[in-house]
Structure 1
């Protein structure tokens, strides 16, 4: 079994994203950047993640680059995940090292999308320093732009989204970040590749953004935080199950649900195996 989860605003939270009324003594720092702890998990969430990791293969899945993922020291060093998916699915790490086979598959998939230069030129046509503060090309694959979200011109961005779609790219906004990502790569594709490689038959998953949707659609059990881009899009539908809590408390609720689902499947399989052994005894 696999538990595949997004990190930011799903399992780990900055001080500004975790919500109100959180006591510092309930938090454990999980990310260090420039000698400062910038992301946290609650003690209860970590305890639940520990339990889940004993029952299933925990695979962190993130839009972060490899370097940014490695900053999340508590996940990387405490759980030492055998597999991790970074760069929105463009990289699969096997024991911390990029998987060469998957990299070749990704490079082939990228040929179906327009080049970085074409996308940058399209963005530069509509970009304004009033709302686009700075940006960069990540891992040579996708763009991330730091934005002033309150000043974002909605109609212009929607038009950009449509044009990018024609070019084989996806646009997603998460907090103060605007992502432009080739459609040929996704978290879901990377996860399905690992499912086959590991030989798993069951996936539980969680994530908070539309960039997580391909991963969620590859799963057998889904629960998502009651906040974020995915929640804003589907909150009034029955497409996904969302937590009642928002912020860092959502991580506790969703991990509790994941643990219950995985435990149930594990118990059913154990009972089925015992029944098989009993009925086939000589």
Structure 2
């Protein structure tokens, strides 16, 4: 059940609410993820404390991570419990950590037209020496190569497609995703299902553009601002992104 007057805050995770151990954060911080026994990600103490105390909206994490990767962020199970989470770029809805079958079945129906082109892209990638294809819940896949923008352009040229998006993420990752498997479609589906009155959203990358454009209010970083056509975008600059969002929502 959605509480807080049917207001939800849909937030990307990595580089939006949480930060890799590779990123230097000057503020006090709290570990939120371990990987192989090592500290992997952090949240600033300010963001963590504010999210724990706020009562004006329901937080819905929206991430490209798989369910397994998302579950490593243990604070969303206990300290900042999230009843609902959207993982796999919105392809799977978790309710109290359990996949929602109706949502999954609807996702499969939405992306059926993408399968042929996804398979063609896989065949192209398999011809590149030394490349391993990583599948995410059989919904999309990614692979790693130096100079990802070059390889993304090459793949788009080899397999032009109206049904599949090719996006880069991180330093080496190239993602191949069904066009309708995006965060904007996901939050619109969520809005219809739970009769939301208002949607906030925050994100830092191209994966978040559709979500930011669909929200009533979008929180963006300066480098992404020109790609967002939402008239109600709030640009957060000169501070840690998550802390800036909390400052704005505290007004």
Q: TM-score of the superposition, structure 1-length normalised?
A: 0.77
Which residues of 2 match residues 1-282 of structure 1 at below 5 A?
Answer: 1-16=7-22, 18-19=23-24, 22=26, 26-52=28-54, 54-115=55-116, 116-125=118-127, 127=128, 129=130, 134-148=132-146, 151-152=147-148, 154=150, 156-161=151-156, 166=161, 168-176=163-171, 177-226=173-222, 230=224, 234=227, 240-245=233-238, 249-260=240-251
Unpaired segments of 5 or more residues in structure 2?
1-6
User: Using the alignment, how far apart are the partners of 1:194 and 1:153 within structure 2?
Assistant: 32
* Aligned 8 A contact 2:9 2:201 in 1: yes
Kindly tell me the number of residue pairs found equivalent between the two proteins.
242
Deviation at 1:152, TM superposition (A): 3.9
- After superposing the two structures, state which structure 1 stretch, 207-216 or 113-122, moved more: 113-122
CA RMSD, Structure 1 to Structure 2 (Å): 2.5
User: Using the alignment, how far apart are the partners of 2:15 and 2:75 within structure 1?
Assistant: 16
Unpaired segments of 5 or more residues in structure 1?
261-282
* Aligned 8 A contact 2:203 2:212 in 1: yes
Judged with a 3 Å threshold, the aligned counterparts in structure 2 of structure 1 residues 152 and 204 are, in CA distance, closer, same or farther, namely: closer
Q: Deviations over 1:213-252 (max 9, x none)?
A: 121122101111345xx35x649x9894321136xx1211
Judged with a 3 Å threshold, the aligned counterparts in structure 2 of structure 1 residues 254 and 225 are, in CA distance, closer, same or farther, namely: farther
Q: TM-score of the superposition, structure 2-length normalised?
A: 0.86
Judged with a 3 Å threshold, the aligned counterparts in structure 2 of structure 1 residues 27 and 197 are, in CA distance, closer, same or farther, namely: same
User: Using the alignment, how far apart are the partners of 1:75 and 1:118 within structure 2?
Assistant: 37
Of structures 1 and 2, the one scoring higher in RCO (CA 8 A, sep 6+) is 1
Question: Higher Cα Rg: structure 1 or 2?
Answer: 1
Question: Larger helix proportion, structure 1 or 2?
Answer: 1
SS at match of 2:19: coil
Judged with a 3 Å threshold, the aligned counterparts in structure 2 of structure 1 residues 135 and 22 are, in CA distance, closer, same or farther, namely: farther
Question: Larger strand proportion, structure 1 or 2?
Answer: 2
User: Using the alignment, how far apart are the partners of 1:162 and 1:254 within structure 2?
Assistant: 39
